[in-house]
Structure 1
Amino acid sequence: MAMSKKHELNLQTAEKFARIALSHVEREYPHKPGFVFGSPDDVRSPRETHPVFFGSYDWHSCVHGYWMLARLLNRFADLASAPEILGLFERRLTTDAVAGEVALFERSGSRGFERPYGWGWLLKLAAELEVMKDRGFAETLRPLSRLIAGRFESFLPLATYPVRVGTHFNTAFAIRLAADYGEAVNDAAFVDLLRATALRWYGKDRDCPAWGEPSGDDFLSSTLAEAECVRRLLPAEAFVDWFSRFLPMLAEGQPATLFSPASVSDPSDGKIAHLDGLNLSRAWCFRSLASALSMDDGRRAVLQAAADRHLTASLPHVAGDYMGEHWLASFAVLALEA
């Protein structure tokens, strides 16, 4: 089964998504803070607190809004919004502004700020900036990206157990994104740490039942995020062996709970809108996992068909209400490019 043509990223869709992100990455309010106030001095506006990533409702959504813009800029040379994207980067990705972001992470009490979801996305953004024609933006962001990489290096050896949830605390999703950064900057030791952690956490997993998926708050599949993390970090042959043990009934579409898109009853509700993200992130995983299987492997068609169903269900909800609009397009780009 070939990938559906209607679910490919093209210039028209890229421009639509870029316009969505440009409309909110500098939108200061509404804003949801994600850190602990240590003193009255910490009570400042989002723009003062986060000199770069103050928009998009919360810090991590703003970060992956910037990632999407960088990705679309790299992907489409004739993107109409390219001058606006470059203008945004020149305006916001400055040495002083990045220093302000670093200062937030260095506050007392900020050890766990955005761990691990925002950490993963920040490194994903850094990886994309590394492959731009002008690598000056990557250089400007480097104090923050190196700090975040260091946070991973300090945290992962202490993390005895993975976090297997469908929300921001999922560890598989974060280290999957971080792997792209490690390769982009040729940091073999960092990638080795991510690989060793993935094997320690997930290497012995077998016959995943996925019985708790989806919950009403999920925007990630803990099952599929784990599989995609292992795919990204293991050699191809080793991954296929692991995957066959992890989801042994995949060819029969089992466990069935993974293969039917989540129903999104109210996209304007912030938590219910998470389920659109679940459908899109599942589609990303389905497509990526399918790419690791041979063309004559029957599981490949099962995964590709599931990806199409999930994309059909939630691509129409990327725009229309701010509770989804401030973040869903990034997940759509992940899925459409997988």
Structure 2
Amino acid sequence: MSSTSSNDAQVIELLKHISDYISRYFSMFIFLIGTIGNTLNVFILSQRSLRQIPCIFFFFASSIASLISIDFGLITRVLSGWAVDPTYTIGWFCKVRTFIVFSSRAMVFWFFVLATIDRWLSSSVQIHHRQLSTLKNARRATAVVILITMIVYGELLYCYDANLIDAPFKCYAKTHACQLLADMTFVCFTTIVPILIMFIFGLLTISNIRQSQRRILQMTSIAINPTISATNHEFQQRSKKNEQHLLLMVFVQVFVLAILTLPQAIQRLYAAFIGSYNSQLQATIDMFVYNFVLLLTYLASATPFYIYTLTGGTLFRKASLEFMQSIYRAIRRRC
């Protein structure tokens, strides 16, 4: 019995040591690449060649939300690795930080939902659907998402508090009911529902593309003036490439979001309905898993710039080059 207790104590100490190490260094790594990447995204996606595209506007909004989520969430995570975290002792800071992190993370998902819907609209063969894909509608939809998300997560300003003793963290939900509500809101509103909607509209977009391809094949069989045909063909090819790159950017980002955030949703469901702390070892294991999958959600918010660089083609790289050239010109003027 004493041998088992001794082994448990060693495992507990090891897991706590690894958890502290991850909180310090993995959090810092995500913070650096996320802050740099999303800051670059904000500047690049606001370039003249991109800022009038509705889908790009959603990428721009999601980059701002990701930047807020990472900076507010991970600075305290890094500090907690050295047992220095103001959210543990300052009540209002705990509440505000939790509200901002949860709501901004949800906004990232819903902005990509809007981007997926925009791809469906713009790829539709029906003209009245394509006419809905405008920058004005994109701004309206973004404002609605921000408002709804803040309302949904407003309960965290009441539910969370600092200086809690019988809780996994000192900044945590005050009651079991509050924690269950926060977990289910995250699982449903932030993760499962947005992913399902993105999956559905992704399939609908693929269906639209196939319909468009069939129509193009039918139209090419009709004789047209060769000069006009060549001009239109060149323009259509350029537009088609841009649309393909935008679609690829959306799909890859949605896939990465799903892969990196579903583990936390599963862990919160397990903790809410199945998990029980029968021993200190079990509690330590659950906390270790929670800390790790939580950082995966931050990693999801840190990846957009690198995904866009790999999948954005000439559309994103041209805007990146314009941004670099504008910086170079600004430096030369000052020198």
How does the TM-score come out when normalised to structure 1?
0.28
Q: Highest relative contact order (Cα 8 Å, sep 6+), 1 or 2?
A: 2
More helix by share: 2
Provide TM-score, normalisation by structure 2. Answer: 0.28
